[in-house]
A and B are shown apart, each in its own frame.
Chain A
Amino acid sequence: MTAGSPAPALRRALVLPRPPGWLIGWWFAGRAVVFTSLLFTHASLANLNGRDAAWYLRVAKSGYLLIPGKQSDPAFFPLYPIVLRAVHALGVGWGVAGPLVSNIAFLAGLVLFHMLTRELFGEAVARRATTFLAIFPLSYVFSMGYPESLVLVLGSAGVLAAMRGRWWLAAACVGAAALARPEAVAFALPLAGIAWQQRETLGPWSRGAAVAAVAAPVAALAAFPLYLGTILDDPHAWSEAQAQWGRQVHITGIANAIADLPQTVAKSPADLRDTVLLFVYLGLLLAAWRLGTPRLWLAAAVGVIVLPLATGTVHGIGRFGLLAFPLFWGLAYVARTARLERILLAASLILLVLATVTIANVIP
């Protein structure tokens, strides 16, 4: 292979560095807590394929079908089912494919998140933030048949690629992330900040690539209604299906969600948890701001946490927030003394156990 050939560069771009031992240890500890909690309580491993995971599996097996007036699968984004289908084609059973993909992707996601955070804040913050992400109370979602792990990998990889000037790779990663979860659109903001920082050094071609990468999540998002229009003759199938889950964006949605908080909290334990987490997340964003998190990152995190309220409910905020990276940087800032770090790690592990054992009753 000649030195000038693209193959080594491509290989470097696609191959992850060897994860540090402590990171593998915390990943293993977090997953062990999740699996042990499930095995030793009334909950079971089948819960990892429950709730939304069952819908993703259905899409993977049979594709999309909009059922008017009923909850149906076009509400679920396509990349994760595509990956499940590919893994199943390798001989992995449907029941195993989701948790297998999610747990392995979570390890890769932690590695990339650590690299990204180290570039922004240095090793000490990166190590604490990655550790907290590995054992965050809601991190059992990263073990379920949900696409969050995949978005963690693709979003972190996309931003890292942009920081290193690999704008086409960044476009591919964040575009793919937006095909897995709509929250990935928020990655456009940090990418825009990085592109702005690099503007003096970019040539016309690279500048175009950078703009394409910033717009890639929205461009990829457009592919989904286009696809639904092709196969179902209905490009609005996603929003129609979403409406059946009570998820319809409304101009007064945020105000309604906040006004209805007392009734919502009284009715559902899941919404009580999500309400508590909403305020915890806002506090962590404040801590992230104190740490010196770039403003566009903060804006992206606010978008991930606050915009879902526009559907008029706090439901799901806890889970959506897992993709707002500044929350974990804020947590690393809060745990900046050794004593606080130990307390928060212990609290996180205990809450992870409690959250996991209620998986069957409290919808993540």
Chain B
Amino acid sequence: MSVVVALAGCAVVTAAGWGVEMVGLPQPTRADRLVASAEGWLRDYPLTRVTFRRAGAPAIDGICLRTSVGSFARSRLAVTDGPLFRVSTGHVRRVRGRALPGFPALLASRIGCTATLLQPVLAAAVARVHVEADQAVAAGEPATALHFPPYKGQRLVLYVSPQSGRPLLAVESLKGVGLAATLQLKQVGGAALARLRSELGMRREPQR
């Protein structure tokens, strides 16, 4: 008898605790959770294979490799058969190759590199800003479009997998110029990373 009462009592305490939490606290929206998941993906994956598309122009392929993390994260963005850019938060500088006429390099670096794309996503997750979510299709897959609030004339829409929150496509517009980046997030390490760093001309760049 005592054992049954004790077990029932414990079950009631656990259930009551769970119930109080369910009733007493607001629950995160689906958009909140997807933003947090997308942040995790962007943090975990340093390499992006990316295809840039904009209205009236041919698609451009490239890769972007994160070379350091933190508030001042840096990356290298290489356009296939085109220029190589050094990217840091808010800045992009061409270090090799000829400029591509009309190619919005700053916009491309903002949405084509995980380090820079991470910044607005992280800020939204931490500050719990209201992010609209709706169903869409991106890169041929069902997706959820996360509409971030406009900031200084910039408008970011991130399309993520509805199940995992994996970023699939980022679209950003700035002063009437729009650019879409189809994202393939990749892990890279060992010899492949060394080869890639060499190709991107960053042998001597210190890694933080």
The interface of chain A, by Cβ under 8 A from chain B, is: 58-70, 72, 78-79, 81-82, 85-86, 168, 171-172, 175, 179, 204-205, 207-209, 211-213, 215-216, 219-220, 222-224, 226-227, 230-232
Give the segment of B31-39, B97-105, B109-117 that binds chain A.
Answer: B31-39
Do the beta carbons of B13 and A208 come within 8 Å of each other? no
- Decide yes or no whether B47 CB sits under 8 A from chain A: no
Bound-state Cα–Cα, A209 to B17, Å? 17
- Decide yes or no whether B24 CB sits under 8 A from chain A: yes
Do the beta carbons of B25 and A208 come within 8 Å of each other? no
A212 in contact with B26 given A65-B32, A68-B40, A204-B2 (CB within 8 Å): no
- Decide yes or no whether B20 CB sits under 8 A from chain A: yes
Do the beta carbons of B24 and A227 come within 8 Å of each other? no
A101 smallest CB distance to B (angstroms): 14
A6 smallest CB distance to B (angstroms): 18
Do the beta carbons of B14 and A212 come within 8 Å of each other? no
Chain B 25-55 near chain A by CB (<8 Å), digits 1 or 0: 1111000110011011001100000000000
Do the beta carbons of A65 and B20 come within 8 Å of each other? no
Do the beta carbons of A205 and B1 come within 8 Å of each other? yes
Please name all residues of chain A whose beta carbon is closer than 8 Å to the beta carbon of B9 when the two chains form the complex: 168, 171, 208-209, 211-213, 215-216, 219
Do the beta carbons of B21 and A78 come within 8 Å of each other? yes
For residue B4, which residue of chain A has the nearest CB? A208
Please name all residues of chain A whose beta carbon is closer than 8 Å to the beta carbon of B26 when the two chains form the complex: 61-63
Interface SS of chain B: helix, strand, loop or mixed?
A: helix
Do the beta carbons of A211 and B2 come within 8 Å of each other? yes
A65 in contact with B22 given A171-B13, A220-B17 (CB within 8 Å): no
Please name all residues of chain B whose beta carbon is closer than 8 Å to the beta carbon of A86 when the two chains form the complex: 24
- Decide yes or no whether B10 CB sits under 8 A from chain A: yes
Given contacts A216-B10, A219-B14, A232-B33, 14 further A-B contacts (CB under 8 A): A58-B128, A60-B25, A63-B25, A67-B122, A68-B39, A78-B24, A85-B25, A208-B8, A209-B5, A212-B10, A212-B12, A219-B10, A220-B17, A227-B22
Bound-state Cα–Cα, A70 to B18, Å? 25
B34 smallest CB distance to A (angstroms): 11
B72 smallest CB distance to A (angstroms): 16
A223 smallest CB distance to B (angstroms): 3
Please name all residues of chain A whose beta carbon is closer than 8 Å to the beta carbon of B57 when the two chains form the complex: none
Please name all residues of chain B whose beta carbon is closer than 8 Å to the beta carbon of A85 when the two chains form the complex: 24-25
Do the beta carbons of A208 and B125 come within 8 Å of each other? no
A337 smallest CB distance to B (angstroms): 44
Among A60, A70, A172, A211, the residue within 8 A (CB) of B126 is A70
Do the beta carbons of A62 and B128 come within 8 Å of each other? yes
Among B17, B25, B125, the residue within 8 A (CB) of A175 is B17
Among B3, B17, B28, the residue within 8 A (CB) of A64 is B28
Please name all residues of chain A whose beta carbon is closer than 8 Å to the beta carbon of B6 when the two chains form the complex: 207-209, 211-212, 215
- Decide yes or no whether B16 CB sits under 8 A from chain A: yes
B21 smallest CB distance to A (angstroms): 4
Bound-state Cα–Cα, A179 to B11, Å? 15
Please name all residues of chain A whose beta carbon is closer than 8 Å to the beta carbon of B20 when the two chains form the complex: 78-79, 82, 179
Do the beta carbons of B10 and A67 come within 8 Å of each other? no
A208 in contact with B28 given A67-B36, A232-B33 (CB within 8 Å): no
Please name all residues of chain A whose beta carbon is closer than 8 Å to the beta carbon of B14 when the two chains form the complex: 219-220, 222-223, 226
Between A and B, 11 residue pairs with Cβ closer than 8 Å are A58-B128, A60-B25, A67-B36, A69-B39, A70-B126, A172-B13, A208-B8, A211-B5, A211-B6, A224-B21, A232-B28
For residue B69, which residue of chain A has the nearest CB? A69
Bound-state Cα–Cα, A215 to B39, Å? 38
Please name all residues of chain B whose beta carbon is closer than 8 Å to the beta carbon of A219 when the two chains form the complex: 9-11, 13-14, 17
A176 smallest CB distance to B (angstroms): 8
Please name all residues of chain B whose beta carbon is closer than 8 Å to the beta carbon of A232 when the two chains form the complex: 28, 33
Q: Which 8 A-B pairs have the closest CB atoms?
A: A208-B5, A212-B9, A223-B17, A68-B40, A82-B24, A211-B6, A63-B26, A204-B1
